[in-house]
């Protein structure tokens, strides 16, 4: 009952042109009516996001989807049928009515149907698709709890819809259907293997720095204040002797004495659990005024691919994500 009331309140705010943080299964988003350019502009301002970086639009049903896209290729349709609602975003040719601000002038729009029940009913009550970039200042880690949002943007937004901690913990997987062959623009909450089991081989977009088609692809992104280092080995740990170091471990480490603090992503080495814990763990380490965070590499299979992608970007490394 209480939920219903707050969801209605949030929907009214969005309808009047306000901006509301909302929960999804991946990370919290910053929502505004996708067809209200003034409200969308405020989302960019609050996030300090460059206008060349287009937003994902969230839908609750196929009527919403029809307002956004011209045509849906059959592979895209297959993915939507099997994976929506869920952490998959598809990039499709947009309708002229979609404001250019939303898509940064691109001929395409990125769309997803999130899985969180509160947000599905929110979008339903608004009666219009809502934009939803992650609810963090540009370049910083995405929020996975309402409290993360409150700490970073609380005083600048109109409402926070608290739906508890995000289940998946990394952003959606983005697949573009703009070119002839489907292309992975950002690894995320749905493993590439699962997508390929439905539509066959998908190309992987190389990382680009200028005018990126997904700035989540910028080499330094999803970054905390404390430097994160991925390239280190147990052998050269001594060279960090005078430093206050945190360890971001995948599983329980054997030798823990050298570290000021340790965060273990998944004791049993489970990728899903690791992804769900990733951003919160980095935030906790970032709050300790460490000199350095050493991060352990994770095998790049399943959700491990998204985890490694975010770790690379958090550490400012820019190699191409290969297979």
Residues near Mg ion (CB under 5 A): 134
Is 275 a binding residue for ligand TXA by CB under 6 A? The answer is no
In the DSSP assignment, the letter for residue 253 is: -
Which residue is associated with the tokens 């600048």?
156
Question: Which x/- pattern over 77-116 shows residues binding ligand TXA (rule: CB under 6 A)?
Answer: ----------x-x-x-----------x--x-xxx-x-x--
Is 213 a binding residue for ligand TXA by CB under 6 A? The answer is yes
Tokens of residue 284, six digits? 């906790």
Is 215 a binding residue for ligand TXA by CB under 6 A? The answer is yes
Interface with ligand TXA by CB under 6 A: which range of 47-55, 73-81, 283-291, 308-316? 47-55
- 57 vs 294 by CB, closer to ligand TXA: 57
Residues between 148 and 177 with contacts to ligand TXA, criterion CB under 6 A: 171-172, 174, 176
Q: In the chain, how long is the greatest CA-to-CA distance?
A: 60
* Least distance CB 109 / ligand TXA (angstroms): 5
d(CA 186, CA 176): 10
Sole binder of ligand TXA in the list 85, 99, 216, 224 (CB under 6 A): 216
Residue closest to Mg ion (Cβ): 134
148 prior amide bond cis, ω within 30: no
- 135 vs 290 by CB, closer to Mg ion: 135
Burial 68-83 (b: 16+ CB within 10 A, else e): bbeebbebbeebbeeb
Bridge partners of residue 111, in order along the sequence: 57, 90
Tokens of residue 170, six digits? 């990394």
Q: Are strands 88-93 and 108-112 parallel, antiparallel or unpaired?
A: antiparallel
């Amino acid at each position: 009952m209480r939920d219903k009331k707050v969801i209605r309140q949030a929907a009214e705010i969005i309808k009047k042109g306000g901006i509301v943080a909302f929960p999804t299964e991946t990370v919290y988003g910053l929502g505004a009516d996708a067809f209200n350019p003034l409200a969308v502009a405020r989302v960019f301002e609050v996030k300090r996001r460059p206008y060349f970086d287009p937003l994902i639009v969230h839908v609750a049903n196929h009527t919403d989807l029809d307002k956004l896209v011209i045509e849906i290729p059959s592979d895209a349709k297959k993915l939507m049928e099997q994976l929506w609602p869920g952490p998959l975003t598809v990039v499709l040719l947009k309708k002229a009515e979609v404001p250019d601000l939303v898509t940064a002038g691109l001929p395409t729009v990125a769309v997803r149907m999130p899985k969180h029940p509160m947000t599905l009913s929110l979008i339903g009550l608004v009666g219009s698709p809502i934009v939803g970039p992650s609810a963090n200042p540009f370049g910083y880690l995405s929020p996975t709890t309402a409290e993360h949002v409150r700490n970073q943007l609380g005083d600048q937004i109109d409402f926070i819809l608290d739906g508890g901690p995000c289940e998946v913990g990394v952003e959606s997987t983005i697949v573009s259907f703009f070119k002839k062959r489907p292309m992975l623009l950002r690894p995320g909450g749905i493993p590439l293997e699962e997508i390929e089991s439905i539509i066959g081989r998908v190309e992987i977009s190389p990382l680009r720095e200028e005018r990126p088609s997904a700035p989540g692809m910028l080499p330094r992104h999803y970054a905390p204040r404390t430097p994160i280092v991925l390239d280190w080995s147990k052998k050269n740990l001594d060279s960090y002797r005078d430093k206050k170091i945190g360890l971001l471990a995948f599983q329980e480490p054997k030798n823990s004495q050298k570290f000021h603090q340790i965060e273990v992503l998944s004791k049993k080495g489970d990728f899903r659990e690791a992804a769900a814990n990733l951003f919160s763990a980095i935030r906790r380490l970032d709050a300790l005024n460490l000199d350095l965070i050493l991060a352990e590499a994770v095998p790049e299979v399943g959700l491990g691919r998204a985890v490694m992608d975010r770790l690379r970007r958090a550490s400012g490394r820019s190699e191409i994500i290969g297979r």
